[in-house]
Amino acid sequence: MPEKQYRFIISGGGTGGHIYPAVAIANEIKRLHPSAEILFVGAMGRMEMTRVPEAGYKIIGLWISGLQRRLTMDNLSFPLKVISSVRKSYKIIKDFKPDAVVGVGGYASGPLLYAATKLGIPSLIQEQNSHAGITNKLLANKVDKVCVAYDSMYKYFPSAKLVLTGNPVRRDITELEGKRTEAMQFFGLNPDRLTFLVIGGSLGARTLNQSTEQALQKIQAAGYNLIWQTGKLFFPTAEAAVKGYPADQIKASDFIKRMDLAYAAADVVVSRAGALSISELCLAKKPSILVPSPNVAEDHQTKNAMALVQKDAAVLVKDVEASERLWGTAFDLAKNPARQQTLRENIAQLGKPQAAEAIVQELLKLVK
């Protein structure tokens, strides 16, 4: 008997923290059911409209954005955008005829899941953070399942719908063993030096970038390598700043496509504390210094970070203290192999390598 050809819509995006879990879920569906048809729905003009096709999937854009905290033309057009996006979502669902839909958070997730639940299509939310996003909170009573990464999420969602799965990450990040030589060649770095990896999330992080720019001379003088992901906005500044430093020691780029090789090269990671970053660090088993962004709802990055710090699985540096403390803390950790090993062992206990598979199994249960 031939395998049923499943059809799924995955909606959401806005940042890498939403997009990469969505792609990881899609990849897991295709691994388990290669004939499955998958369609993404995102927000026009947002990052997912390029990143999803790069991952090999078709995406349709909705005319939708978030509400700004101040009065803008975008806010005035918000009701019109919602109506337009809901109507388009109904049409997409009726044309594509999905067996189930997945929402990963972000602007496009709301209209698509609203339309799907109204049409009686089985639906699932994947919430990455320790603090639930507004779209997911609004949809929680309408959807069938809510897959979460933290065990305190009953505060936000009906407990009968909750499944603790962890955050899905790309499979290549769980398979770093034996990749260090390839990673050093890929980045063109001297393999005999300890390597720092600085990642500020897909959109960059001003505090991390400015602190790193100020520390370049000390990093070079101390004989360390640096892989520095700056985000698009800061990249011209970083590119100018690293000129004159040895190319086999200091590397800056706006975006790193081969994150598996970046993690494989890294001995110590400096990162924001977005949910996806933390999930990746747990699976990569890297000693990490977390600098939570202060510019997020309910300060949820600090809550994400504290979940690790309380288990002695990461080091915390507050954003307001980063310019003074970040690189001193990083150098202290670099000089302390025993501390690195403790952090490595403790963070490894928190990884959930089967998260994508667990989410897909919940999805398949809804269809069956």
pLDDT in tens, the chain (368 residues): 567 799 999 999 888 788 989 999 999 999 999 999 999 999 999 999 999 999 999 999 998 876 555 566 666 677 788 888 999 999 999 999 999 999 998 888 999 999 999 999 999 999 988 878 788 888 898 999 999 988 778 888 989 999 999 999 888 888 899 999 999 999 999 999 999 999 976 566 889 999 999 999 999 999 999 999 999 889 999 999 999 899 999 999 998 989 999 999 999 999 999 888 999 999 999 999 999 998 876 788 898 899 899 999 999 999 999 999 999 999 999 999 999 999 999 999 998 889 999 999 999 999 98
Do residues 87 and 201 share a domain?
no
Do residues 99 and 225 share a domain?
no
Contact (Cβ atoms closer than 8 angstroms) between residue 139 and residue 125: yes
CA-based nearest residue to 105, from 85, 134, 131: 134
Q: Does 61 show up as a binding residue in the annotation?
A: no
Q: How much is the pLDDT for 152?
A: 79
CA 245 to chain centre: 30
Residue 187, in any domain of the structure = yes
Do residues 333 and 279 share a domain?
yes
Please report the DSSP string for 60-108 in residue order: EEES--PPPSS--HHHHTHHHHHHHHHHHHHHHHHHH--SEEEE-SSTT
Do residues 320 and 363 share a domain?
no
CATH number of the domain at 20, please: 3.40.50.2000
Q: Does 258 show up as a binding residue in the annotation?
A: no
Do residues 30 and 16 share a domain?
yes
Residue 122, in any domain of the structure = yes
315, containing H or E segment = strand 315-316
Do residues 248 and 155 share a domain?
no
Q: Does 202 show up as a binding residue in the annotation?
A: yes
Q: How much is the pLDDT for 68?
A: 53
Give residue-wise pLDDT tens across range 167-188: 998 888 888 999 999 999 999 9
Do residues 161 and 297 share a domain?
no
Q: Does 129 show up as a binding residue in the annotation?
A: yes
Do residues 86 and 123 share a domain?
yes
Q: How much is the pLDDT for 319?
A: 94
Do residues 344 and 202 share a domain?
yes
Distance (Å, whole) CA 143 – CA 356: 19
**Tally of domains within the chain:** 2
Residue 115, in any domain of the structure = yes
Residue 63, in any domain of the structure = yes
Please report the DSSP string for 18-45 in residue order: HHHHHHHHHHHHHHH-TT-EEEEEEETT
Do residues 60 and 155 share a domain?
yes
Distance (Å, whole) CA 201 – CA 181: 25
Residue 2, in any domain of the structure = no
Q: Does 301 show up as a binding residue in the annotation?
A: yes
Distance (Å, whole) CA 80 – CA 107: 14
Range of the domain at 300: 172-348
Q: How much is the pLDDT for 212?
A: 96
Do residues 110 and 69 share a domain?
yes
Give residue-wise pLDDT tens across range 300-343: 889 889 989 999 999 999 999 999 999 999 999 999 999 999 99
Q: Does 174 show up as a binding residue in the annotation?
A: no
Q: How much is the pLDDT for 296?
A: 76
Distance (Å, whole) CA 44 – CA 61: 5
Residue 239, in any domain of the structure = yes
Do residues 100 and 185 share a domain?
no
